[in-house]
């Protein structure tokens, strides 16, 4: 059974959030939010991530207006979905767009980051106590309001605290307070953290700087000192908000990350310096004990780059949660890696509104991503049961890949991609006649999905555009009968049943049996079929 730590729950039960994030301006009012909720339905998602803006809820200092939050709560309940609220406060993408006007107008009180040339940058300084207190007050007021309005119903399952924090436009703050910190001894706690590590980005930076046991930031951390001091300062700032907020209403909290793994990889240049990039993750985890998750926004399209990020953020102390990913189609494949191989405990993609087409249905280019989300949605009870065990397998057809080999418990499996030759026989009338010419092999998108092995003889499949063949492992005398070619082996595989169905709670409910021609071409599944269960005889 699953050993994964899941901060997300609803009424005490583990919950797997699946859906999308709205565009930045969709949280202001009902008219703006409507398309996002519509899109979530089309996606078969259960959770919408949508912003709450500091500038909107505290237009005058100390005066709060919760109308927008109440509208989002009402809309989520009307649509029977959950919310993750995104607190756009001090930081938004390494800048400060969503700070209220009274903060923006008063840089003497609410300091800005100063760049190495002595100029103000459009980023609030994490070294300014007045800003921290003002943000904390507003953040706690939000949590108090949610407690009052939602503690019973639990529509809101988590809050993202800030958005992609960090500094764009400077590697660190060169203002007076920041400069004083830079020249001061590195805190004992950070030195203890470094001494306890034996690998990783911050440990390497420390080693490169000579592995000193004490000293100021540049002495201890050398060339990366500016970025790491900023990470320390921002992480402690955000953690203090989290600590105060949780004392008001104890909701799961996470921080999202603008990743460093792109372009020049220059802190403050190509990504916000001081964010929880993989290089600084050890420091961020240590500095944020009141935050459940550090969550990467994965916009990387190539499989290797995508997988490296999953592997960096999926740690025993940090289950992988993907709050944002690319709306592009590569994600329709990669997400299965995140979910099956690195046990992502929730998954969303950005700009969900775009999947609604002009006629109100699915925008045709979004069909693949919608199909993939539908497949995952159908499998949520299985994910809650089997993530973190060896019973779940990702199916992913990379460019040019013809099949995929699976080493299963007692079985070998071969996933063949595409729909095979004689489509009318190998599938059913629902999946061969409508949009695919009969007698003509349909053009398949790249295959993807999940395969669960529940027990030695029972499998569940979700996904699209693949066909699974299974063969029992065993001595050659049993498995290599030369009179039995692939054709017979498939037809005479000892199936008890192949059933299409869906889950109601934890129970699999059969919708349709298919024990005839429909199995001759391998065991197949499509998103609208939902789940296929296969049971073998001995
Ligand atoms: C990541 C941010 O978190 C989002 O708010 C949005 O700005 C996207 N980038 C745009 O790609």
Report pLDDT digits (tens) over 513-525: 998 888 888 899 9
Atom number, ligand 1, closest to the C-alpha of residue 164:
3
Residue 520 has a pLDDT of 80
Decide if pLDDT at 438 tops 60.
Answer: no
Whole-angstrom CA distances from 45 to 79, 332, 352, 374 are 11, 14, 11, 8
Distance from Cα 425 to the centre of ligand 1, integer Å? 46
**26 C-alpha to ligand 1 centroid (Å):** 13
Per-residue burial over 295-322, b if 16 or more Cβ lie within 10 Å, else e, is: bbbbbbeeeeebbebbebbbeeebbbbb
C-alpha gyration radius of the chain? 26
Average model confidence (pLDDT) for the chain? 94
* CA 487/CA 500 separation, integer angstroms: 23
- Give the residue whose CA is nearest to atom 10 of ligand 1: 350
pLDDT score of 481 = 59
Residue 239: what pLDDT?
Answer: 99
| 503, 359: one domain | no
Q: Write the residue with the smallest CA distance to atom 9 of ligand 1.
A: 93
| Residue pLDDT, tens place only, 141-158 | 999 999 999 999 999 999
Assess whether 248 and 373 both reside in one domain.
Answer: yes
Q: Determine which residue's CA is closest to atom 6 belonging to ligand 1.
A: 24
Ligand 1 pocket: which of 162, 164, 257, 353 to mutate (most atoms <8 Å of CB)?
164
CB atoms within 10 A of CB 338: 27
- Average pLDDT value for residue range 321-338: 93
Within 8 A by CB and 6+ apart from 289, the residues are 239
- Mark whether 349 and 402 lie in a shared domain: no
| Residue 194 within any structural domain of the chain | no
Q: Is the pLDDT of residue 456 over 70?
A: yes
- Tell me if 350 CB under 6 Å of ligand 1: yes
Q: Is residue 2 part of a domain?
A: no
Under the banding of pLDDT at 50, 70 and 90, the label for residue 439 is low
Q: 471 lies in which domain range?
A: 395-536
Q: Tokens at residue 415, please?
A: 């996933």
For the CA of 256, the nearest atom of ligand 1: 3
Stretch 100-119: mean pLDDT = 98
CA of 256 to the centre of ligand 1 (A): 10
CATH number at residue 296: 3.20.20.80
Cβ proximity of 447 and 464 under 8 Å: yes
DSSP E strand stretches across 259-374: 293-298, 324-325, 347-350
* 137 and 277 co-located in one domain: yes
Q: 326 alpha carbon to ligand 1 midpoint, in Å?
A: 10
The pLDDT of residue 418 is: 85
| Residue 155 belongs to a domain | yes
Q: How far is the CA of 341 from the centre of ligand 1 (A)?
A: 25
pLDDT for 358 equals 95
Work out how many domains the chain is built from and give that number: 2
Range of weakest confidence among 99-103, 190-194, 291-295, 491-495:
491-495
Could you tell me where the beta strands, DSSP code E, fall in 288-401? 293-298, 324-325, 347-350, 392-396
Ligand 1 proximity of 324 Cβ (cutoff 6 Å): yes
CA 157–ligand 1 middle distance (angstroms): 21
In a domain, 429, yes or no: yes
Q: Whole-prediction pTM value? A: 0.96
Tens-place pLDDT, residues 464-475:
999 999 988 887
CA of 185 to the centre of ligand 1 (A): 35
- Where among 342, 360, 389 does a domain terminate? 389
The answer on 246 and 114 residing in a single domain is yes
| pLDDT tens profile 29-85 | 999 999 999 999 999 999 999 999 999 999 999 999 999 999 999 999 999 999 999
CA of 202 to the centre of ligand 1 (A): 26
**Dist. CA 525 → ligand 1 center (Å):** 34
How large is the average pLDDT for residues 327-352? 94
Range with the lowest mean pLDDT among 41-45, 90-94, 347-351, 443-447?
443-447
Does the residue 205 lie in any domain? no
Q: Which atom of ligand 1 is nearest to the CA of 299?
A: 11
Q: How far apart are CA 247 and CA 441, in angstroms?
A: 60
Cα dihedral sign, 352-353-354-360: positive
Distance in angstroms (rounded) separating the CA atoms of residues 254 and 323: 9
Strand-strand pairing, 82-92 and 156-163 = parallel
Q: Is residue 440 part of a domain?
A: yes
- Other Cβ atoms less than 10 A from the Cβ of 372: the count is 28
Q: What is the pLDDT of residue 516?
A: 83
Region label for 416, one of left (φ > 0), alpha (ψ between -120 and 50) or beta (otherwise): beta
Chain-centre distance of CA 122, in angstroms?
A: 28
Task: Please tell me the distance between residue 351's alpha carbon and the centre of ligand 1 in angstroms.
Answer: 9
**Average pLDDT in the 168-194 region?**
98
**Ligand 1 contact, 163 CB (< 6 A):** yes
Output the residue whose Cα is nearest ligand 1's atom 5: 24
Q: Among 84, 94, 350, 352, say which to mutate for ligand 1: greatest number of ligand atoms within 8 Å of CB.
A: 350
Q: Cα(94)–Cα(102) distance, rounded to whole angstroms?
A: 20
User: Of 341, 361, 389, at which residue does a domain stop?
Assistant: 389
Q: Which of 373, 389, 405 is the last residue of a domain?
A: 389
Pocket test for ligand 1, best of 27, 95, 163 (most atoms within 8 A of CB): 163
User: What are 361-367's contacts with CB under 8 Å, separation 24+?
Assistant: 361/42, 362/42, 365/329, 366/327
Taking CA atoms only, the protein residue closest to ligand 1 atom 2 is 93
List the residue whose alpha carbon is closest to atom 8 of ligand 1: 350
Q: Is 297 in the pocket of ligand 1 (CB under 6 A)?
A: yes
Q: How confident is the model at residue 494 (pLDDT cuts 50, 70, 90)?
A: confident
Q: What is the share, in percent, of the chain residues with pLDDT greater than 70?
A: 93
Is the confidence at residue 257, as pLDDT, over 70?
Answer: yes
> Do residues 437 and 370 both lie within one domain?
no
Which positions ≥6 away from 480 have C-beta within 8 Å?
none
Residue 409 lies in a domain: yes
Do 384 and 469 share a domain, yes or no? no
Please check whether residue 435 is in contact with residue 389, taking contact to mean a CB–CB distance below 8 angstroms.
no
Mean pLDDT over 21-28 rounds to: 98
CA of 11 to the centre of ligand 1 (A): 30
Q: Which amino acid residue places its CA nearest to atom 11 of ligand 1? A: 350
Q: Is residue 197 one of the residues assigned to a domain?
A: no
Residue 250 has pLDDT above 70, yes or no: yes
Rounded to a whole number of angstroms, the distance between the first and last alpha carbons of the chain is: 24
Cβ 93 under 6 angstroms from ligand 1: yes
Q: Are 298 and 411 in contact (CB under 8 A)?
A: no
Q: Is the pLDDT of residue 164 over 60?
A: yes
Q: What percent of the chain shows pLDDT beyond 90?
A: 86
| Gap from CA of 527 to ligand 1 centroid (Å) | 28
| Cα 107 to ligand 1 centre (Å) | 25
């Amino acid at each position: 059974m699953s050993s994964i730590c899941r901060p997300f729950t609803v009424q005490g039960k583990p919950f797997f959030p699946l859906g999308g994030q709205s565009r930045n301006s969709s949280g202001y009012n009902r008219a703006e939010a409507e398309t996002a909720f519509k899109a979530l339905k089309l996606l078969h998602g259960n959770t919408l991530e949508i912003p709450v803006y500091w500038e909107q809820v505290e237009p005058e200092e100390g005066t709060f207006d919760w109308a927008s939050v109440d509208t989002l709560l009402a809309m989520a309940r009307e649509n029977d979905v959950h919310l993750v609220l995104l607190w756009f406060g001090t930081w938004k993408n390494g800048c400060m767009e969503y700070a209220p006007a009274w903060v923006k107008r008063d840089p003497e009180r609410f300091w800005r980051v100063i760049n190495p040339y002595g100029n103000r940058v459009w980023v609030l300084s994490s070294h300014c106590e007045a800003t921290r207190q003002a943000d904390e007050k507003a953040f706690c007021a939000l949590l108090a309001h949610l407690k009052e309005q939602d503690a019973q119903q639990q529509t809101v399952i988590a809050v993202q605290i800030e958005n992609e924090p960090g500094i764009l436009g400077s590697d660190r703050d060169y203002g007076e307070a920041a400069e004083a910190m830079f020249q001061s001894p590195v805190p004992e706690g950070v030195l203890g953290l470094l001494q306890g590590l034996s690998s990783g980005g911050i440990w390497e930076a420390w080693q490169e700087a000579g592995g000193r046991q004490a000293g100021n930031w540049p002495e201890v951390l050398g060339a990366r000192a500016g970025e790491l001091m900023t990470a320390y300062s921002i992480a402690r700032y955000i953690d203090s908000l989290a600590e105060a907020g949780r004392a008001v209403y104890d909701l799961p909290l996470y921080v999202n990350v603008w990743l460093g793994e792109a372009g020049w990889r220059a802190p403050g240049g190509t990504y916000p310096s001081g964010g929880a990039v993989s290089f600084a993750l050890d420091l961020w985890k240590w500095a944020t004990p009141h935050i459940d998750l550090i969550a990467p926004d994965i916009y990387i399209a190539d499989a290797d780059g995508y997988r490296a990020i999953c592997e960096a953020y999926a740690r025993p102390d940090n289950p992988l949660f993907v709050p944002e990913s690319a709306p592009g189609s590569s994600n329709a494949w990669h997400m299965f890696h995140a979910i099956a191989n690195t046990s992502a405990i929730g998954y969303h993609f950005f700009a969900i509104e775009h999947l609604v087409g002009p006629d109100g249905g699915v925008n045709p280019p979004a069909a693949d991503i919608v199909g993939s989300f539908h497949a995952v949605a159908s499998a949520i009870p299985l994910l809650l049961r089997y993530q973190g065990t060896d019973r779940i397998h990702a199916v992913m057809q990379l460019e040019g890949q013809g099949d995929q080999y699976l080493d299963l418990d007692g079985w070998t499996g071969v996933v063949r991609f595409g729909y095979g030759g004689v489509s009318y026989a190998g599938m059913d009338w629902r999946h061969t006649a409508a949009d695919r010419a009969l007698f003509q092999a349909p053009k398949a998108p790249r295959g993807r999905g999940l395969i669960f092995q529940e027990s030695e003889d029972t499998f569940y499949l979700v996904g699209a555009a693949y066909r699974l063949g299974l063969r029992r492992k065993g001595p050659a005398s049993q498995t290599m009968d030369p009179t039995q070619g692939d054709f017979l082996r498939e037809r005479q595989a000892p199936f008890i049943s192949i059933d299409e169905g869906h889950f109601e709670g934890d129970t699999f409910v059969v919708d349709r049996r298919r024990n005839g021609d429909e199995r001759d071409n391998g065991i197949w599944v499509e998103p609208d079929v939902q789940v296929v269960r296969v049971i073998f005889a001995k």
